[in-house]
Amino acid sequence: MDLIVFYILASITVLASIGVVSQRNPMHSVMLLIVSFAGLAGLYVQLDAPFTAVTQIIIYAGAIMVLFLFVVMLLNAQTEDEVIPARLGPHAMRLAALLSLLLAIELVEGIVPLARETFREDAGTVSSISSVAQIGSRLYDTRYYAFAFEVTSVLILVAMVGAVVIARRPRSDEMTHDERQMTKTPNGEMPNVE
């Protein structure tokens, strides 16, 4: 029974991921990636990690994918450019597909000969591994992950400031000559930016 659920969830995840990679419209890619994340959340529940499953849904499907959707809608880029650059040659796509297939075969081939380990199923183990209290006491313990946790907050701060600075439209007096050329409107005037 568990095995059937695993195969259903795993095939949902894999098929949705293949869909993400094969779609031309980025909007469809983002939607399919949310499906893939939902499948992964199901797998986490099966691995007795309900908290990870919930964060997967809330943070990944909820926050990060909304960010992606927002940008896709903002840029309104319905499809990708058809032109394949000449310097890559006509076989570039086929070579890329072959290389990633090779990577998949090698990874699977490396994993299969490992011993077929099963998980321990007794109730005590399961309840200790899936308890949020256990995760919290590990995460905030100064002997374990408290420092990494604090560093993560600095990382987020840096990313936030970086995102704002990079995406900001430069003021006209800060622009270099090239940038001024690029942002010029067709009638030769500077766009009105604050």
Partner 1 sequence: MPTLNQYLILSGILFSIGTAGVFLRRNVITILLSVEIMLNAVNVTFVAAGRFHNIVDGQIITFFVMTVAAAESAVGLALIIALFRHRETLSPDAFTFLKW
60-89: contacts with partner 1 (CB under 8 A): 60, 63-64, 67-68, 71-72, 74-75, 77, 80-81, 83-85
Torsion of CA 127, 129, 131, 132, to 10 degrees: -170
Using CB under 8 A as the binding rule, whether residue 172 contacts partner 1 is answered as no
Using CB under 8 A as the binding rule, whether residue 143 contacts partner 1 is answered as no
C-alpha count within 13 angstroms, C-beta hemisphere, residue 13? 14
Using CB under 8 A as the binding rule, whether residue 160 contacts partner 1 is answered as yes
The nearer residue to partner 1, 3 or 188, going by C-beta atoms, is 3
Using CB under 8 A as the binding rule, whether residue 190 contacts partner 1 is answered as no
Q: Pick from 12, 54, 129, 175 the residue near partner 1 by CB under 8 A.
A: 129
CB 20 within 8 A of CB 47: no
Using CB under 8 A as the binding rule, whether residue 123 contacts partner 1 is answered as no
Using CB under 8 A as the binding rule, whether residue 37 contacts partner 1 is answered as yes
Using CB under 8 A as the binding rule, whether residue 52 contacts partner 1 is answered as yes
Exposed / middle / buried, residue 72 (Cβ in 10 Å: 0-12, 13-18, 19+): middle
We find the least distance from the C-beta atom of residue 150 to partner 1, in angstroms, to be 12
We find the least distance from the C-beta atom of residue 51 to partner 1, in angstroms, to be 7
Coil/strand/helix, residue 31: helix
Using CB under 8 A as the binding rule, whether residue 3 contacts partner 1 is answered as yes
d(CA 20, CA 50): 25
**How many other C-beta atoms can be found within 10 angstroms of the C-beta atom of residue 39?**
19
d(CA 191, CA 83): 31
The nearer residue to partner 1, 21 or 190, going by C-beta atoms, is 21
